[in-house]
Structure 1
Amino acid sequence: MDWIGLIIQLVLGAVGGNVGGAVVKNSSLGSTGNSIVGAIGGIVLGQILSSLTGGAVPPADPAAAAAATGGIGAIIQNVVGGGVGGAVLQVIAGLIKNSMSKA
């Protein structure tokens, strides 16, 4: 397990959740709610991207494994997965909450 990648996904997910709540005002869950839902979304999408790009299963060759687990590409993948996942899940959860409270 890549702890650094997980931490990046968690933090950027929380940031993405707050950005999502600020951009789509009627989906905001409050600062704490946006952060929690965003962090969950960041981890989920980050892990999905990691498994789709082959990051979940290390290659058998040690040199290829070292290249696959580090580098700027892995960091960018974690940043994008965390931030986008956090924002998307926060907006979806906020809109669902608001639609349920109106009914």
Structure 2
Amino acid sequence: MFGDILPFILQGIGGALLGPLLSALTGGKGFGFIGNAILGVIGGIGVGQGMNAIGLEDAIGSLMGGGGPMRMLAEVVKGGIGGGILGTIAGMIRRR
């Protein structure tokens, strides 16, 4: 049960950490820290699951090496990628 939801949690954490950071770097305030964190979680889970759906679930994990901790770190990285993308878009939209 917990193993099924763990990737979602890790992707959300990665998105919540990197989304607000990239939003601030590219566009200023964006939607505030809480708004950017929520967008980061949504983007992180979305891109992470999208990568899994098209068969790239092991792409980042294989680059980082094997083992459980590295697979968990790969889920955080995938979430960070998605959160960063959505955070960047939010920062650019808010700036205009």
Structures share fold, TM-score greater than 0.5: yes
> Is the 1:24–1:91 contact (alpha carbons within 8 Å) kept by the matching residues of 2?
yes
Larger radius of gyration: 1
What stretches of structure 1 move > 6 A for 4+ residues in a row?
none
Alpha-carbon distance between aligned partners in 2 of 1:50 and 1:75, rounded to the nearest angstrom: 14
1:33 to 12, 32, 35: 35
Where structure 1 has 5 or more consecutive residues not aligned to the other structure, the ranges are 56-69
TM-score by length of 2: 0.72
Give 1:47 shift.
Answer: 0.4
Total equivalences in the alignment: 85
2:95 maps to 1:98: yes
2:73 to 72, 76, 83: 76
TM-score by length of 1: 0.68
Instruction: Tell me the secondary structure at the aligned position of residue 53 of structure 1.
Output: coil
Where structure 2 has 5 or more consecutive residues not aligned to the other structure, the ranges are 59-66
Q: CA RMSD in A?
A: 2.2
After superposition, the C-alpha distances for 1:10-43 in whole angstroms (9 at most, x for unaligned) are 1111111121123224362210111011110000
